[in-house]
Structure 1
Amino acid sequence: MNNMNRRLALKTLLGGFGSVALNSNLYSQFATPSKLNPSFSGGPKRVVFFLQNQGFEPKTCIPVGMQNSGSLANATLPEPIQALQPYREKIHIINGLHGRHASPAHSAFFGALGGYRGSDGVPPSASTVDYELSKTLPQTLLPHLCIGMDSLDNMKAKPTLATLSASGAGQPIFMYSDPMQLYKLLYGGLSTGEVRTQHEAQSHMLRKIEQFAVDKSTGLPLHDQELYSQFTGGFEQMNALRKRLDGASGDLAKYAPKLDQRYSNPEFETDWHDVLLDLGISALKSGITNTLTIGSGRGEIFGSWKGLGVEKQGHNLGHMPQHENPIWIKIRQYNSRMLVKLIEELESVPEGSGTMMDNTLIVYTSNNADKQHTNGATWPFILIGDCNGAFKMGQFTQLDGKRPINALYTSILNAAGRDIERFNMSEKMAKKYDSSTGPLKEVMA
């Protein structure tokens, strides 16, 4: 095969599975674990990020009648997050962080978890906090799992999409939106019938593609050799991960969700949303991963919730006020029920002297601050889980808008054992956008 034909073969492969293997870290984000504070003990063993698109209006999360920081012991949570009322002692509602430097506008995209300027179609400029945590927390088969929820048409047309998480500059991490695809990756080795046959056929094909890429790399110019090495390395990681998951499938069988018609024949997009959540929970409970990122709306301005009786969808949802809006109440209540399910499922699994939830932090927010068209001046968060006393819980905290979302991410990384003063913010940037340094004293216990 001459050089021109090799390049054509390379381009063809990159248009299919190769683009995933080369550009995404879709199947594996293994990296050298970050150095921990040697005196550190405790903190989270796993972290879940849940981001809803179109913004998070503060009035939909601030307790009724509360204007200043205080205890949630006797507070009444607003209707959109009322499902969390029984868990007041486990949550910390934070208002007053900012993300002005992230330029969220319609969405901050990678900047929402990276704490830097983000925009549509702009690659990440650095890693995001979820990926950094996946390096810091105890290593697992799949250190970082991302799932994305959208309209059925969008999820079927783009079963993988990268808009929120990144392992470094120009290195996006793709999220899964096709639950059958994710099920086959996690549990294909224990499935039976047609699902098992498809899983084995795909694994065989991927190994063949990897070998083909290796065989055709000889004799290429230096630039193409470098591209090929990334390409073949991506397939090597992908195939190695599938092999490890297949080998562990027998031990993981009790955590695998049962396949039903929602996987292959969903009536509404929320059918896929629900089973994607089930798969994310199963990956946490089984120990396949300890860092889960959920993107409702997949970090963009789209999204659909017809299964909730919401006929409007996409960009138009962002032009509605969220406070006391029946449509947004339904969407936020749906999110809250998902959060409750996460809590209940993790509380059902013993771990150490308590449960998995005792060692888990859930972070709920939006990928574009308080609303769709925003300057990022206020960016609400809900934290769930004190992680054995690492975080203050049972509180509402109203900040003054002078500290950025990066300060919260610094706090979480410190709780996980990373002794850092800032996350993704230079001293020059901090002089303009951060009034202090280090973790948020209002959050850390």
Structure 2
Amino acid sequence: MINRRNMLHGLAAGVGAAFAPSTVTQRLLASPAAASSPGLGNTTPKRIVFFMQNQGFDPKTCIPSGMKHSGSLAKAKLPEPISPLEPFKDRLHIINGLHGLHTSPSHSAFFGALGGYRGSDGVPPSAATIDYELSKVLPQTLLPHLCIGMDSIENMTTKPTLATLSASGAGQPIFMHSNPNHLYQMLYGGISSGDIRLQHEARTSLMLQIEQFAASKGRSLPAADSQRYGQYVQGFKDANALRDRLGAVSDHLSKFAPTVDERYANPEFETDWHDRLLDLGISALTSGITNTLTIGSGRGEIFGAWKGLGIDQQGHNLGHMDQPDNPIWIKIRQYNSRMLVRIMEALESVPEGSGTMMDHTLIVYTSNNADKQHTNGANWPVMLLGNLDGAFKSGCFTQLDGKRPINALYASLLRAVGQNVDRFNMDDKQAQKYDAGNGPLKEVLA
């Protein structure tokens, strides 16, 4: 039996963290179709995708053989794990030599991977993460920041929402969605039919009742508890308001909603749900629901499963395997690379401005665990795909000296979207110890 108190607590926490940024919407959608619609603005939006693989990202699985120094990828052959990206080398930028020593990653840096601060299992975020900060700066959308998480079927079923990677501030985690049925209901329930429509309407009615009930009961609480309780009430208000806003653009959204197939309700493997979640993430980008998408493969923890790829090993065991030349990790990394290709091809297929949506997009692929399991974070490889409207160099490999932190890359991202910052989540005292430079990474910005 579901504990009513726990259910309401989870609902409030999840919706509050996920939807709070979208309370005031200046522009409903950030997509080519929306930009040409009356009253929705006509500027070309930008968008950023973060893809975080757990268990580390060994540089030997992404750096072409023989490349020791920075240079062009034009004549290089990509390693087998990322071979699906070979046709897209001109849009790829491989970066090696950033560090995350200050994040103390070990099994995972958790919120610290995108926050650039010390993270650990069970430790709340100490500041907003870069994905959330970017979502505030980019043109506002219905859902400025969407997080999806991929794991084993068991974990995605028992914990359909989990917060380990993204945060809107100190002690304010953002929940990622791991059940594609729930996420489809949230995004497209209002334009669906059959059981999905009935479930959507029932959930909407329940959420409205909870909001009204919670608001009335909260008035009698002591002052010390009233503020915290008010955050939960606001979470329900934001969730219900999101449903209203999505309903107002239902005709537009109907053009982008993925087809619901058997694998939503009856997945054979967890990868069936991984693929459905990716479809929903892509549709959220192409429809303009969001312009910041965070994907957590392994959900920022030490677990994860890929039985659909023929891999029986799962969870922590994968982290204790050497990644280079390992057939298991080749399968996982190639699967990731094919996902990156799907994102790029989907965005490339949608005209935007004088080009396509992909021309104004940047995909950041890395790990929440630096280079390997049980790492100290001394090397944190990153791959960039796209150039965000010409802001980043592409078609190249950059070898750094290990003296600049991942925070410097995040400051570079903020610079690329118009924020005049020199550091991200790092004060002068920390910088003296962990950063040999100041400002963005000149090596990656165009």
- Establish whether TM, by shorter chain, passes 0.5: yes
Q: Which residue of 1 aligns with 2:143?
A: 142
Q: Is the 8 A contact 1:50 1:363 kept in 2?
A: yes
Q: Which residue of 2 aligns with 1:198?
A: 199
Q: Deviation at 1:31?
A: 7.0
Alignment partner of 1:197: what SS? helix
Residue identity matched to 2:186? L
Question: 1:321-342, CA deviations, whole angstroms, 9 ceiling, x for partnerless residues?
Answer: 0000000000000000000011
Q: Following superposition of structure 1 onto structure 2, how do residues 329-368 of structure 1 map, counting pairs within 5 Å?
A: 329-368=330-369
TM-score, scaled to structure 1: 0.94
Question: 1:349-391, CA deviations, whole angstroms, 9 ceiling, x for partnerless residues?
Answer: 0000000000000000000000011000000000011122111
Q: 1:156 to 1:89 in 2, by over 3 A?
A: same
Alignment partner of 1:82: what SS? helix
Matched, 1:21 2:12: yes
Measured in 2, the distance between the counterparts of 1:280 and 1:424 equals 27
Measured in 2, the distance between the counterparts of 1:224 and 1:324 equals 55
Q: Deviation at 1:153?
A: 0.3
Q: Which residue of 1 aligns with 2:272?
A: 271
Measured in 1, the distance between the counterparts of 2:219 and 2:165 equals 36
Q: Deviation at 1:32?
A: 8.0
Higher mean C-alpha deviation, range 383-392 or range 280-289:
383-392
Question: 1:286-338, CA deviations, whole angstroms, 9 ceiling, x for partnerless residues?
Answer: 00000000000000000000000000000000000000000000000000000
Measured in 1, the distance between the counterparts of 2:381 and 2:367 equals 8
Measured in 1, the distance between the counterparts of 2:262 and 2:298 equals 23
Measured in 1, the distance between the counterparts of 2:23 and 2:51 equals 23
Q: Is the 8 A contact 2:22 2:141 kept in 1?
A: no
Q: Deviation at 1:28?
A: 3.8
Measured in 1, the distance between the counterparts of 2:86 and 2:180 equals 30
Q: Which residue of 1 aligns with 2:394?
A: 393
Measured in 1, the distance between the counterparts of 2:79 and 2:115 equals 29
Q: Which residue of 1 aligns with 2:296?
A: 295
Residue identity matched to 2:236? F
Q: Which residue of 2 aligns with 1:30?
A: 22
Residue identity matched to 2:47? R
Q: Is the 8 A contact 1:28 1:241 kept in 2?
A: no
Q: Is the 8 A contact 2:74 2:395 kept in 1?
A: yes
Q: Is the 8 A contact 1:43 1:388 kept in 2?
A: no
The runs of 5 or more residues in structure 2 that have no matched partner are: 26-42
Q: Following superposition of structure 1 onto structure 2, how do residues 203-352 of structure 1 map, counting pairs within 5 Å?
A: 203-352=204-353
Q: Is the 8 A contact 1:31 1:135 kept in 2?
A: no
Q: Which residue of 2 aligns with 1:48?
A: 49
Q: 1:117 to 1:32 in 2, by over 3 A?
A: farther
Q: Which residue of 1 aligns with 2:34?
A: none
Measured in 1, the distance between the counterparts of 2:186 and 2:126 equals 29
Measured in 1, the distance between the counterparts of 2:250 and 2:5 equals 30
Q: Following superposition of structure 1 onto structure 2, how do residues 414-429 of structure 1 map, counting pairs within 5 Å?
A: 414-429=415-430
Measured in 2, the distance between the counterparts of 1:93 and 1:25 equals 32
Measured in 1, the distance between the counterparts of 2:20 and 2:243 equals 10
TM-score, scaled to structure 2: 0.93
Measured in 1, the distance between the counterparts of 2:140 and 2:5 equals 29
Higher mean C-alpha deviation, range 20-29 or range 188-197:
20-29
Q: Is the 8 A contact 1:48 1:362 kept in 2?
A: yes
Q: Which residue of 2 aligns with 1:4?
A: none
Q: Which residue of 2 aligns with 1:37?
A: none
List structure 1 segments (4+ residues) > 4 angstroms apart after TM superposition.
none
Measured in 2, the distance between the counterparts of 1:381 and 1:274 equals 23
Measured in 1, the distance between the counterparts of 2:147 and 2:232 equals 21
Residue identity matched to 2:403? K
Measured in 2, the distance between the counterparts of 1:354 and 1:443 equals 22
Q: Deviation at 1:232?
A: 1.2
Alignment partner of 1:195: what SS? helix
Q: Deviation at 1:219?
A: 2.7
Q: Deviation at 1:43?
A: 10
Residue identity matched to 2:140? Q
The runs of 5 or more residues in structure 1 that have no matched partner are: 1-11, 34-41
Q: 1:117 to 1:31 in 2, by over 3 A?
A: farther
Aligned residues: 426
Q: Which residue of 2 aligns with 1:3?
A: none
Q: 1:388 to 1:226 in 2, by over 3 A?
A: closer
Measured in 2, the distance between the counterparts of 1:214 and 1:288 equals 28
Question: 1:94-133, CA deviations, whole angstroms, 9 ceiling, x for partnerless residues?
Answer: 0000000000100000000000000000000000000000
Q: Which residue of 2 aligns with 1:99?
A: 100
Question: 1:66-115, CA deviations, whole angstroms, 9 ceiling, x for partnerless residues?
Answer: 11110011110000000111111101000000000000100000000000
Higher mean C-alpha deviation, range 97-106 or range 218-227:
218-227
Q: Is the 8 A contact 1:25 1:174 kept in 2?
A: yes
Measured in 1, the distance between the counterparts of 2:250 and 2:75 equals 46
Q: Is the 8 A contact 1:185 1:245 kept in 2?
A: no
Q: 1:13 to 1:138 in 2, by over 3 A?
A: farther
Q: Deviation at 1:247?
A: 2.2
Q: Deviation at 1:44?
A: 7.1
Question: What is the Cα-based RMSD across aligned positions, in Å?
Answer: 1.5
